[in-house]
């Protein structure tokens, strides 16, 4: 009886060791999308009235958690009964990520005007109007989170295909929790940077004090941090997309064998991204002509 109990403990320890190793690999593979998720949500959670930033972020976080609850069982069922679907979804996800990265680069090189949305902190708006706009922005953020969550879960699952189902479930669930708690925790810190800075400036009694200097740095840093995260996230998107193509499509796996993997993955992701972007833009133009 005792030996059976200790054998069970050994099995549990072995599973947890496997989970720890696989979680590290999965975290590395999903880091690019987590970076983009962080940049996107920091941007979407800013611009609200100061008193509404944390409630809005909490609403988006709950939506993100619900997304993971919906996605995880479907992903595990596919892995158990139709594993080829995981590869297909990974490649399709790679196309989406490559397109998104290429679109951001194209927008940076050839910027075009966007329709300006109503300012949520505009004093002319009534409380009811502000809540309606806020609800729409939260909905938009949750939809974006759903797309990124699918990619995070599938990429994490792709690193543990072939492992026991229990190990897959624990590993991918850990990544899903990190993707929700970790990302939105950091986003909360980022969007409150300017508020903390303002309070430090207010509490500073001297014109030239360390407290006021740090406060000014925090206030000025918020837009720069979001912009930096956007750039890092764009590069990471293309690298992740390229990695998905290289590791899941035989042709790309053997292409450019003498190139360093990071350059090869970035080049393939970038080229495919711009091809998809060109096709999407062509269809948009044709659709507009039909409407006219």
For residue 39, the model assigns a pLDDT of 66
pLDDT at 275: 95
What's the pLDDT at 25? 53
Residue 13 — very low, low, confident or very high, per pLDDT cuts 50/70/90?
very low
Is the pLDDT at 120 greater than 60, yes or no? no
Which pTM was predicted?
Answer: 0.67
Answer yes or no: are the C-beta atoms of 161 and 83 closer than 8 Å: yes
Burial label, 196 (beta-carbon count in 10 A; 0-12, 13-18, 19+): middle
For residue 158, pLDDT beyond 70: yes
Report the share of the chain in percent with pLDDT over 70: 74
pLDDT at 213 over 50: yes
Contact 120, 20 (CB under 8 A): no
Q: Are 76 and 85 in contact (CB under 8 A)?
A: no
Taking residues 21-34, report their average pLDDT: 58
Q: What is residue 32's predicted lDDT score, i.e. its pLDDT?
A: 60
Average pLDDT of the segment spanning 72-82: 83
Q: Identify the weakest region by mean pLDDT among 18-32, 150-164, 191-205.
A: 18-32
Do residues 38 and 233 touch, judged by C-beta distance below 8 A? yes
Report the chain's mean pLDDT, rounded to a whole number: 75
Distance from first CA to last CA of the chain, Å, rounded? 79
- Domain ranges for the chain: 2-291
């Amino acid at each position: 009886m005792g030996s059976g109990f200790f054998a069970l403990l050994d099995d549990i320890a072995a599973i947890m060791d496997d989970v720890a190793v696989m979680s590290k690999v999965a975290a590395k593979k999903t880091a690019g999308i987590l970076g983009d998720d962080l940049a996107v949500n920091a941007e979407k959670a800013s611009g609200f009235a100061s008193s509404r930033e944390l409630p809005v972020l909490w609403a988006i976080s709950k939506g993100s958690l619900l997304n993971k609850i919906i996605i995880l069982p479907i992903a595990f069922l596919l892995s158990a009964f139709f594993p080829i679907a995981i590869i297909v979804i990974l490649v399709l996800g790679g196309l989406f990520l490559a397109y998104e990265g290429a679109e951001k680069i194209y927008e940076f090189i050839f910027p075009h005007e966007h329709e300006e949305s109503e300012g949520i902190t505009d004093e002319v708006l009534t409380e009811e109007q502000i809540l309606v706009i806020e609800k729409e922005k939260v909905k938009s953020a949750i939809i974006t989170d759903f797309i990124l969550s699918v990619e995070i879960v599938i990429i994490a699952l792709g690193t543990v295909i072939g492992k026991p189902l229990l190990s897959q479930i624990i590993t991918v669930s850990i990544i899903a929790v990190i993707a929700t708690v970790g990302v939105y925790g950091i986003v909360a810190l980022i969007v409150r940077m300017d508020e903390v800075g303002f309070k430090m400036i207010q509490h500073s009694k001297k014109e030239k004090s360390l407290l006021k200097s740090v406060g000014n740095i925090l206030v000025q840093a918020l837009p720069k941090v979001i912009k930096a995260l956007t750039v890092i996230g764009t590069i990471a998107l293309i690298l992740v997309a390229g990695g998905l193509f290289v590791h899941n499509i035989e042709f790309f796996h053997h292409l450019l064998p003498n190139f360093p993997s990071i350059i090869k993955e970035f080049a393939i992701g970038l080229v495919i991204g711009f091809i998809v972007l060109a096709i999407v833009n062509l269809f948009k133009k044709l659709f507009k002509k039909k409407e006219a």
